[in-house]
Chains A and B, each alone.
Chain A
Amino acid sequence: MHTWKNNDKTDSAKSRLPIPGWTAGVLAGVLFLSMGAVRGEFTVIFQKAVMICLECIGIG
């Protein structure tokens, strides 16, 4: 297993974000998941997923 560190000054200067891109993505993901939870979207997903999806199996 390897890790990488950004110790190249040129690369650092090019980088626009103060944090690694994946960290920003994870934070955005957590934010979106929270917003989805507040809006009740997990219930919509659950209700769809616990019924046999007739379209998915080519009947609906």
Chain B
Amino acid sequence: MKRIRLIVQIIYTIITNGYAYGFLNGKIYQGNLKYVCVPGLNCYSCPGALASCPMGALQALLNRRGFQVPFAVLGFFFLFGSLLGRFVCGWLCPFGLLQDLLHKIPLFRKKKRLPLHHILKYGKYAVLILLAGAGSLFLLGGNFAKTPAFCKYLCPSGTFFGALPLLGSNALLRSQAGLLFFWKLGLLLAILLLSVKIYRPFCQYLCPLGAVYGWFNRFSLVQVRWEREQCTFCMACKKACPLDLEPEEISVSPECIRCGACADACPASCIHMGISAGKGASAPCQDQ
């Protein structure tokens, strides 16, 4: 499962960021695919991006005059979330892939969580509400226009996949980089460095898209199921889980990114990842 996931992540990232002309010329794709959003955090200013970022799209709609409910982005959230939940984070997010790769570097003693995890894990909800939500509604830019606050002040995916390739290949943009760019670059470097030691720190503590999809984990079509009756409570799943989740938590936790490590590790085969045909998270498992 681990190797399959890595292959899927790489292929997905290449396909959704396959506009090679953009990388070579410091430009971005401007075709019709950008009417729709991809499921993961994927900056639409990445030179290779073929579709839109759902979090960027949310802020673009909130940046309109007055307040209008952003129905289109809610639609994408419900569609992707109901089908996949945080499977998107584990399998279909380019920035998640980047953090996964960095965590493989054999430097430092690896840790699954930061100290004060039980408090810090709510950071992503604060980012969603305060930056992507209220920030995009009320913060004003230099020309008194509303600003996409999450993209502007925090998003490390935009810095890595958008800013660095664009500034590297476009001299005009490079000449305009100022304090804000260096703030975002510093944040990016801190998150990337932390990723070598801690498993996916951005996903665990800061990603507003993870906060959205986490809500769908309980009832999404793709599920991880734990069968209590067959469990020997050896805790092999907890040891294998990169997020340190207990077997009771795996099915329903908004933190689970559906990586499948628990299912691979379970010696009693009582954890399965697959498609739910039932009515909710409490449905028992049946082998097909």
Contact = CB atoms under 8 A, between A and B. Distances in A.
Interface of A: 1-8, 11-12, 14-15, 17, 19-26, 28-37, 39, 41-46, 48-50, 52-60
The 10 closest A-B pairs by CB, nearest first: A36-B72, A25-B82, A21-B219, A33-B75, A29-B78, A6-B278, A32-B75, A2-B274, A29-B79, A58-B181
A22 B220 contact: yes
What interface size band does chain B fall in?
A: 35 or more
B43 interface: yes
Given A3-B275, A45-B61, 17 more contacts: A2-B225, A5-B286, A23-B82, A25-B81, A26-B79, A29-B80, A41-B70, A43-B35, A44-B64, A45-B35, A48-B44, A49-B52, A55-B147, A56-B45, A56-B162, A57-B45, A59-B180
Interface stretch (B88-96, B118-126, B170-178, B240-248): B170-178
B280 A41 contact: no
A11 B72 contact: no
B163 A33 contact: no
Given A1-B274, A20-B278, A36-B70, A41 B61 contact: yes
Contacts of B180: 58-60
Given A4-B284, A52-B28, A60-B152, A29 B276 contact: no
B167 interface: yes
Contact of A4 (B30, B182, B286): B286
Given A8-B284, A45-B52, A55 B148 contact: yes
B162 A2 contact: no
Nearest to B188: A58
Contacts of A45: 34-35, 37, 52, 57, 60-61, 72-73
A56 B28 CA distance: 13
Interface in B246-288: 272-280, 282-288
Interface string B26-48: 00111010111100000111000
Contacts, number: 230
Contacts of A48: 44, 52, 56-57, 60
B21 interface: no
Interface string B144-186: 0001100110010011001100110000010011101111110
B195 to A, nearest CB: 20
A20 B132 CA distance: 30
Given A5-B283, A21-B279, A30-B75, A53 B56 contact: yes
